[in-house]
Copies of this chain bind each other. A is one copy, B any other.
Amino acid sequence: MSLHDQLCQLETPVLLLDENRMNRNIARMQKRMDQLGVAFRPHAKTSKCPAVVQRQIAAGARGITVSTLKEAERFHAAGVNDILYAVAIIPSKFEHALRLLRAGLQLTLLVESEAAASQLAQFGIDHGQRFEVLIEVDTDGHRSGIEPEAQRLIEVAKSLRVVSGCGAHLRGVLTHAGSSYSLNTPQALAAMAEQERAGCVRAAQRLRDAGHECAVVSVGSTPTALSATRLDGVTEVRAGVYVFFDLVMSEVGICSQDDIALSVLCTVIGHRQDAGWIITDGGWMSMSRDRGTQKQAHDYGYGLVCNIDGRPVPGVVFNDANQEHGVLAWTGDASVDLEKRFPVGSQFRIVPNHACATGAQHPAYQVLPADGQSLARWDRFSGW
């Protein structure tokens, strides 16, 4: 059966993954990192899928980044041995981190406060364990972390201590220039990448000047990773959404719509000819409520409406959604008979605003395989 026929038989909504596009995205980023001479540590929060991560590692990634300890646990079980948990650790998660280390995982943790740093060190001493730790640095004011010039940076480093080989050991610094998501010119993106690099390198230098070891200088976001022109002083780069890309990234300007590897297949279930609406079974539960393009130059509503072959359908926009209903609006000639043009049972593929959010609504990817033969199912996980 052709791939097209296999798609037509799927019970919708389902999450589709175009393996060719994903492979291209993986190769593009890895090649860039290789050229810039840094290690690449992809963020697995985007895919939450061992089959995807295995391909990133096969392409050259050295370790991965995660956003939850569940991700660390699942990816370790799938054979990944070098994992950075890139959300500041807190005491209620120390036991979980300890279990993962004792299970053999090379786990690196993140701190951004003296409180967490000193408690983690004490916990390590009490439990005969050495934790490897990065300090979170704030290089763009968008979220958490310590500013490179802040006195607190040195104080947090001092709170990390190792006694008789146990405690919390400073490995380096980490930053994430998340505000790059709101930019959309190559100049602004390159400037933000340099700001991210320079700030993180400066923080590392201050720590070294204060007598601390600081082997790791970890930076990254998908937009800055693809916009940096030099990475002097950086040892590794992290990026997540590049593996699939999405409409937000295409509006930022670092990919084309043809690079986006994810879409949600849905089916027409009815029409409201008077209102100009086509109703589908792909509501917000399948797309997520993420309206990431709302503040960008082009607001795609709940996603870009494409046909089953992945080409945009002129005149149809995805303006509104209920839990299991998509409400697509026909913006073309009002005399068009919508039931005839888009019959009940016909299908659309919706390209998402935000790959991380849309992916999280689904238990698995239906993979359009690189070899063009049969659909494959790759499971993904969710929760904490």
Contacts and interface: CB of A to CB of B under 8 A. Distances in A.
A361 B363 contact: no
A343 B143 contact: no
A263 interface: no
Interface string A106-124: 0000001101100100000
23 contacts: A8-B92, A9-B92, A10-B92, A11-B69, A11-B92, A14-B384, A45-B323, A67-B323, A90-B268, A90-B344, A91-B345, A115-B344, A116-B345, A141-B275, A143-B279, A144-B269, A144-B270, A144-B279, A145-B270, A289-B290, A361-B382, A363-B383, A382-B382
Nearest to A9: B92
Contacts of A88: 269-270, 279
Contacts of A323: 45, 67, 356
Interface in A237-291: 267-272, 275, 277, 279, 281, 284-286, 288-291
Given A88-B269, A90-B269, A145-B270, 17 more contacts: A11-B69, A11-B384, A12-B92, A13-B384, A14-B384, A87-B281, A90-B268, A90-B281, A91-B345, A92-B267, A112-B269, A119-B345, A178-B322, A288-B288, A289-B290, A360-B361, A362-B383
Interface in A1-37: 8-14
A115 B343 contact: yes
Contacts of A216: none
A37 to B, nearest CB: 29
Contacts of A271: 113
A298 interface: no
A339 interface: yes
A344 B11 contact: no
A93 interface: yes
Contacts of A270: 88, 112-113, 116, 136, 144-145
Contacts of A141: 275
A324 B90 contact: no
A357 interface: yes
Interface string A288-325: 11110000000000000000000000000000001111
A327 interface: yes
A325 B138 CA distance: 14
Contacts of A345: 90-92, 115-116, 119
Contacts of A362: 383
A208 interface: no
A68 interface: yes
A96 interface: yes
Given A92-B9, A323-B67, A87 B289 contact: no
Contacts of A14: 384
B93 A11 contact: yes
A95 to B, nearest CB: 8
- Counting chain B CB atoms within 10 Å of each CB, the highest count among A136, A270, A277, A327 belongs to A270
B357 A284 contact: yes
A272 B144 contact: yes
Instruction: Return the 5 tightest CB-CB contacts between A and B, nearest first.
Output: A289-B289, A363-B383, A88-B269, A67-B324, A115-B344
Interface in A337-384: 339, 343-345, 356-357, 360-364, 382-384
Nearest to A384: B13
A324 B87 contact: yes
